Chains A and B, each alone.
Chain A
Amino acid sequence: MIDVGIAGVKALLVLLMVLNLSAILLWVERKGSALIQDRIGANRANIFGGLLPFNLGIINTLIADPIKLLTKEDVIPAGADKLLPFLAVFPVLVTFAAVPFGDQLQIGSTTINLQVADLDIGILYVLAMSSLAVYGTVLGGWASNSRWALLGGIRGSAQMISYEIAMGLALIGAVMTFGTLDLQAIARAQGHHFFGVIPAWGVIYQPVGFVIFLIAGIAETKRVPFDLPEGESELISGYFTEYSGMKQAAFMLSDFAESVVVAGLATTLFFGAWQVPFLFRDGFHFPGGSVVALPQLVVVVLQIISFTIKVFLLCVFQILVRWTLPRYRYDQVMDLGWKFLLPIALANMLVTGVVVVLAG
């Protein structure tokens, strides 16, 4: 019974983490894009009549926007199918179940593994769920009974299938390095330090793999410079053109949640997951030999904070990319995926294999 309760709490915690981070990212995106484009951005929330030294623009994004979207009229075009955008949201939200956000927590006699689903095939689970995400896009476009939406859906599915291959091959390099498919084991394997100073994070073993993974991940989230499925200037809004109110918000949410998932995976595989440099189970061990002992609960909290900060920074990086680069042409997207990323990922796999065999 306690086990079921703990599992439920963990699932809820991770779900809230992803959803809240997505909402906060929406605000960061509004303010960040404004910063890059030399505007002020979301500023219409002068709630206390200028009494506060800062304005509460974030209130708009987090509270006023959802209320507006929930109460809007839901327009369904003639001849459209009522397939729910739920299809787009579900695979994204369940992906995070395999991502560990902390080490084991010991309370009395119960050990809690800070990971919703402790899977020995964690990476395959993530790939399986992300391969289901394509249905939300392609069926969302198809169900609208609109040419723009259908074009967006078809572009999106072709792009997602293409980049899934490069993404999977980039992950294989990391799997070979750590010798396991279990994400928690991969997180633990990144706990030591090279020369006692440099944290042994995955990005040091697999720099090429990380770059390929990040590019393919951004392509999977269908954001600039890979936003052809949406392509505002060509397709109005692509596969979710015909959705209004909360349904449109669901597609937006799945977009941001996908960013969070990509950042979460990149953190887990390449940036030491929940590891904090020099922090071990019993406290900090600094290179000079000084030791700061910490209780286990503090260590776990530090780990969760570290994981969240890393995920957030990678999300912000994705937003910076989005507002810096122009959109690719469609043939350029396909060329990049098939003729550039795929061969490099294969070569990376080969080199990694040789090194792993030679190093024993």
Chain B
Amino acid sequence: MGAALFLLLAVLTVVAALTVVLHPNPVKSAMALVVTLFLLAVVFVLLEAHMIAALQIIVYAGAIMVLFLFVIMLLNLQSDEPELGRGHGVQRVLAWSGGVLLALELAVVARGVPAAKVGATPAGYGGAVAVAKSLYTDFLLPFELTSILLLVAVVGAVVLAQRQRRPDVS
């Protein structure tokens, strides 16, 4: 039951992820990414990581992808751009060699990974309490540093936007 469910999810996720890359329409490509993130969240639920699953949908599918969509709509990208899917001869050679290299690397990495230990997870593992406890004890410093980093990014974005609006300031 669990294995079959995971297999179905894995196939759907890969199909959705391929759609992101292959679909010619940018908006639909972005929507395929939303579907991919949603399916990944379901995979997290199967792994008992409920908290991560919820955060995955709230942060990635619900917030970041909406901004992606906004940018695509504001730039008014056309769906039938002729360059998409083609490219120069040199580009093709580079892309193919890069792809083959990546596949080889993945194969090497996959061989090196030890077989996963299958066992029952303790109760509450991956729930809100467990995640919060490790976040606010073992990983407190990285957590706080990340929040400062995000704050700096927000302030920086506002400053840049303001400078563009009023050229007489500096």
Contact = CB atoms under 8 A, between A and B. Distances in A.
Interface of A: 119-121, 124-125, 127-129, 131-132, 134-135, 138-139, 142, 150, 154, 157, 161, 164, 181
Contacts of B58: 124, 127-128, 131
B57 to A, nearest CB: 4
B51 interface: yes
Contacts, number: 59
Contacts of B38: 132
Interface of B: 27, 31, 34, 38, 41, 50-51, 54-55, 57-58, 61-63, 66, 69-70, 73, 124, 127-128
By Cβ-Cβ distance, the 3 closest A-B pairs, closest first, are A131-B62, A124-B54, A128-B57
A134 B66 contact: yes
Contact of A121 (B54, B66, B70): B54
Contact of B128 (A138, A164, A181): A181
Contact of A138 (B63, B69, B124, B127): B69
A142 B54 CA distance: 27
Nearest to A158: B70
A142 B26 CA distance: 12
A131 B63 contact: yes
A161 B66 contact: yes
Given A127-B58, A154-B73, A161-B66, A135 B50 contact: no
A150 B27 CA distance: 13
Contacts of B31: 135, 139
Nearest to A127: B58
Nearest to B59: A131
A132 B61 contact: yes
B128 A120 contact: yes
B128 A124 contact: yes
Given A128-B54, A128-B57, A154-B73, A121 B62 contact: no
A139 B27 CA distance: 9
Contacts of A161: 63, 66
Given A142-B73, A150-B73, A131 B128 contact: no
